A and B are shown apart, each in its own frame.
Chain A
Amino acid sequence: MIPFVAKRLWNGFLTLAALATLTFFVMRLAPGGPFSRNRKISPEVQANIEAAFHLDEPVYQQFARYIWGILRGDLGPSTRFRDYSVNDLIAAGLPTSLTIGFWAILVAALVGIALGLAGALRRNGWTDYAAGAVGVIGIAIPIFIIGPLMQAYFSVYLGWLPVGGWNDGWRSLILPVLVLALPNIAYISRLTRSSTIEVLRENHVRTARAKGIGPARVLLGHAMTGALLPVIAYLGPASAALITGSILIETVFALPGIGRFFVDAALNRDYPLVMGITLVYGGFLIIFNIMTDLVRGWLDPRIRHEG
């Protein structure tokens, strides 16, 4: 178990290092720089600004400075939001994104698995059709359509919930969480349904039924593990994606998360901010993948023994 974890941590570290390097150089390959503007500014001012952000140094020196910063936990100053460091901006936006993402993934997992199981156990029953309908809606209709529709109905027409913003406590959470969870509910319920149906046909489940231990124990004790393994494999990366913020959700519901900073930063060539958020996202992705591997290894001895 310890080599299993150590190997994955080391791989995660290498991935993160590669990600940091790649982002750094790709950003610099893009035409223009943080301070290229349509409006001409005097060359002296331009040079002064660039010197302040060390953009006048050779690239290898900038890279060394950047890596040294990461190692100290300092992601540098933002070039777009003056007077703020990237650390400040992430610290400001991340809690919002984390909160919404956490609830969305929790709702998506619970509802998705429940709907999927219900569909698999009573195939072609009404729950199966309902889950299928949710699935089609959740996957086919994009967030920027379903979000405003829900705002129009629940906030404007019924007046139950705030249209957007982050100032109404838990009531601000409900709509963004629902809208963010919906496509994932759809995907997870389809996944659970098909893998459960598949597992119920497996020979070892037939053996379990032959033992006369009753349908509930056959399902929970023998079929469930195999049925949930693919779902868990999906949940890991999906959690990382959800909790690090969704630009669409944050725009539609006017939420102060890091998703918006990311797009803003990319459009304005804010090198440090783009790289900082990329690293945060990469870090979460790696952590969640390791956690996924751990859970799958814990459930499936064959994965665990492979190391």
Chain B
Amino acid sequence: MDCETPLTQMNTNLLSLHDLSVHFAHGGGQTTVVDRVSLTLGAGEVLGIVGESGSGKSQLLFALMGLLASNGNATGHALFDGQDLLSLPTKALDRVRGASLSMIFQDPMTALNPYKRIGDQLAEGLIHHQGLPRAAALAEASRMLDRVRIPDAPRAARRYPHEFSGGMRQRVMIAMALLVKPKLLLADEPTTALDVTIQAQVLDLMLEIAHETGTAIILVTHDLGVVARICDRVAVLYGGRIMEEGPAETMLSDPRHPYARGLLATTPRLEAAITPRLPTIPGAPRSGGAMLPSCPFAPRCSDKMPACDHMPPLRDIGPERRLACHLEPAP
């Protein structure tokens, strides 16, 4: 590990990604869905990763959890708590995931085991990682269910997932993920599958508990409203690459990348004058294929220029802000 001393020196960060890429092998070819992503995250920080469907957001999280499909492969480094998640053998990874690193999935209807009582599913992690006796773990589980406002928690713990609504199941997932008091929570579009009316409520609950336990969050979403409300920092992903990154406040008020600006423009606002049509970004996101040397957004970009044939590097453009675009001259 000698060659990696520069990485380990960044010990103030809870998580630092260096050139993380995710490839999928298929047929005889290979598709790159995440391309050399570098990011850092401090303890307790909330980072939003936004982008359209297919931009590689979820696969980035799966790579960290070691949950890529069997034809998937992650390269680069993901230093979490002093360990490189990408090079850990399964046994060592199993001491991290579910203990100091947990994840909430997109679809609460299928993410819970239909054959097991939810109390047992919650307690399982505590029993395994913290060596709690079953009774104590179950008590802890039902306290956590109460905490996520599942009514009559001790009885609810003895029920099965199919007896709960989608919103309740996602709250159960939140309880399960946060019960172990992880240092980092990966949330993959946790409210996308839920009714609009309860999205905010579920999100706030997640945030509230994470705050209590000092848990940092990476929230993958395509909802900029959510990002504005709860994230400290935002990274905009397109075609598996980071296009722009910075503090949520400044980035959302002053996005520099054409794609980030487009995303913001397409977000409906209540206070804006009623326009006949919602603006859209023309074209469709690129899907599959080998990585091109050009900027992946160039075909849809209204500010395209000859230089876009080469993907610009992500560089600093101000306090804590980074951008990968030829539009902005270096400061």
Are A301 and B114 closer than 8 Å at their CB atoms? yes
> Which of chain A's residues has its CB closest to B109's CB?
A203
A222 to B114, CA, bound (A): 9
Q: A204-B110, A302-B114 are contacts. A211–B98 as well, Cβ < 8 Å?
A: yes
B129 lies within 8 A of chain A by Cβ: yes
Are B94 and A300 closer than 8 Å at their CB atoms? no
Residues from chain B with a CB closer than 8 A to the CB of A31 are none
> Which of chain B's residues has its CB closest to A202's CB?
B110
Residues from chain A with a CB closer than 8 A to the CB of B324 are none
B128 lies within 8 A of chain A by Cβ: yes
Give B72-104 as 1s and 0s: 1 = Cβ < 8 Å from A's Cβ atoms.
000000000000000000110111111100110
Task: Tally the A-B contacts, defined by beta carbons under 8 Å.
Answer: 75
> Which of chain B's residues has its CB closest to A213's CB?
B128
A296 to B192, CA, bound (A): 33
B260 lies within 8 A of chain A by Cβ: no
Are B107 and A203 closer than 8 Å at their CB atoms? yes
Give A210-235 as 1s and 0s: 1 = Cβ < 8 Å from B's Cβ atoms.
11111101000110011000000000
Give A176-201 as 1s and 0s: 1 = Cβ < 8 Å from B's Cβ atoms.
00000000000000000000000000
Indicate which residue in B67, B112, B129 contacts A209 across the interface (CB closer than 8 Å): B67
Interface centre among B98, B107, B128 (most CB of A within 10 A): B98
Residues from chain A with a CB closer than 8 A to the CB of B93 are 212
A222 to B98, CA, bound (A): 15
Q: A212-B128, A213-B94, A302-B160 are contacts. A207–B114 as well, Cβ < 8 Å?
A: no
- Which residues in chain A, 254-307, are within 8 Å of chain B measured between CB atoms? 299-302, 305
Are A210 and B162 closer than 8 Å at their CB atoms? no
Query: Taking the nearest CB of chain B, how far is it from the CB of A221, in angstroms?
Result: 8
A208 to B107, CA, bound (A): 14
Are B105 and A215 closer than 8 Å at their CB atoms? no
Are A206 and B105 closer than 8 Å at their CB atoms? yes
Are B65 and A210 closer than 8 Å at their CB atoms? yes
Indicate which residue in B98, B111, B128, B129 contacts A204 across the interface (CB closer than 8 Å): B111
Are B115 and A225 closer than 8 Å at their CB atoms? yes
Are B160 and A203 closer than 8 Å at their CB atoms? no
B56 lies within 8 A of chain A by Cβ: no
Give B216-258 as 1s and 0s: 1 = Cβ < 8 Å from A's Cβ atoms.
0000000000000000000000000000000000000000000
Query: Taking the nearest CB of chain B, how far is it from the CB of A299, in angstroms?
Result: 6
Residues from chain B with a CB closer than 8 A to the CB of A209 are 66-67, 97
Are A207 and B99 closer than 8 Å at their CB atoms? no
Are B162 and A203 closer than 8 Å at their CB atoms? no
Are A222 and B160 closer than 8 Å at their CB atoms? no
A208 to B114, CA, bound (A): 12
A210 to B177, CA, bound (A): 10
Residues from chain A with a CB closer than 8 A to the CB of B162 are 301-302, 305
Are A210 and B67 closer than 8 Å at their CB atoms? yes
> Which of chain B's residues has its CB closest to A123's CB?
B70
Query: Taking the nearest CB of chain B, how far is it from the CB of A280, in angstroms?
Result: 35
Are B114 and A213 closer than 8 Å at their CB atoms? no
B296 lies within 8 A of chain A by Cβ: no
Q: A212-B128, A214-B94 are contacts. A299–B115 as well, Cβ < 8 Å?
A: yes
Main secondary structure of the interface of A (DSSP, over half): helix
What range describes how many residues of A lie at the interface? 20 to 34
Are A204 and B102 closer than 8 Å at their CB atoms? no
Query: Taking the nearest CB of chain B, how far is it from the CB of A297, in angstroms?
Result: 11
Interface centre among A207, A214, A225 (most CB of B within 10 A): A207
Residues from chain B with a CB closer than 8 A to the CB of A206 are 67, 105, 111
Indicate which residue in A203, A212, A215 contacts B97 across the interface (CB closer than 8 Å): A212
Are B113 and A211 closer than 8 Å at their CB atoms? no
Are A211 and B124 closer than 8 Å at their CB atoms? yes
A119 to B83, CA, bound (A): 34
> Which of chain B's residues has its CB closest to A300's CB?
B115
Interface centre among B111, B115, B124, B173 (most CB of A within 10 A): B115
Are A213 and B110 closer than 8 Å at their CB atoms? no
Are B115 and A212 closer than 8 Å at their CB atoms? no
> Which of chain B's residues has its CB closest to A212's CB?
B98
Query: Taking the nearest CB of chain B, how far is it from the CB of A177, in angstroms?
Result: 33
Are B112 and A210 closer than 8 Å at their CB atoms? no
B125 lies within 8 A of chain A by Cβ: yes
A109 to B41, CA, bound (A): 52
Are A207 and B111 closer than 8 Å at their CB atoms? yes
Are A207 and B128 closer than 8 Å at their CB atoms? no
Query: Taking the nearest CB of chain B, how far is it from the CB of A153, in angstroms?
Result: 41
A113 to B129, CA, bound (A): 31
Are B105 and A207 closer than 8 Å at their CB atoms? yes
Query: Taking the nearest CB of chain B, how far is it from the CB of A267, in angstroms?
Result: 48
Are A213 and B125 closer than 8 Å at their CB atoms? yes
A163 to B65, CA, bound (A): 59
> Which of chain B's residues has its CB closest to A222's CB?
B113
> Which of chain A's residues has its CB closest to B128's CB?
A213
A213 to B114, CA, bound (A): 18
Q: A211-B98, A211-B124, A217-B128 are contacts. A300–B114 as well, Cβ < 8 Å?
A: yes
- Contact residues of A with B, CB < 8 Å? 202-204, 206-215, 217, 221-222, 225-226, 299-302, 305
Known pairs A204-B112, A213-B98, A226-B114; list 16 more (Cβ under 8 Å).
A203-B105, A209-B66, A210-B98, A210-B102, A211-B97, A211-B98, A212-B93, A212-B95, A212-B125, A213-B94, A221-B116, A221-B124, A226-B115, A301-B114, A301-B160, A305-B162
6 CB < 8 A contacts A-B: A204-B114, A207-B113, A212-B129, A301-B162, A302-B114, A302-B162
